Amino acid sequence: MDFKAMASNLGIDEADFIELAELLVITSLSDLAALEQGLAQGSKEPIAHAAHSIKGAAGNLGFTDIAAIAAEMETLVGQGEFDSINARADALRQGLDAINMAMGR
């Protein structure tokens, strides 16, 4: 991941971008936990809310792969495709882990 280029796209410096990326990971992991709890309870609302939150935050920072996964999850929750959402949650976690690794965490 080229944080310098991603920061430049947003018109901010790399250090500020990395700070925002850290916040994205922390917040998204919390959202992901809420999403997984919603899956366990069979409740669509927390799943949809978490997916929407992750989609927006990731998209705003330029993490388009993560935003696309979250958008797909939003669509799947409307269709009641809980098994597919669970599989996409794993992919989302991997994407967040990749951001952490790129930051040296």
41-82 pLDDT, tens digit per residue, is 989 999 999 999 999 999 999 999 999 999 999 999 989 888
Residue given tokens 């919390």 in the structure block: 30
Long-range interactions of 57-65: CB distance < 8 A, separation 24+: 57/24, 57/27, 57/28, 58/24, 58/28, 61/6, 61/10, 61/17, 61/20, 61/21, 61/24, 62/6, 62/9, 62/10, 63/21, 63/24, 63/95, 63/99, 65/95
Q: pLDDT tens digits, residue range 1-43?
A: 899 999 999 999 999 999 999 999 999 999 999 999 999 998 9
Q: What is the pTM of this model?
A: 0.91
Pick 3-102's CATH classification: 3.40.50.300, 2.40.128.20, 3.40.920.10, 1.20.120.160: 1.20.120.160
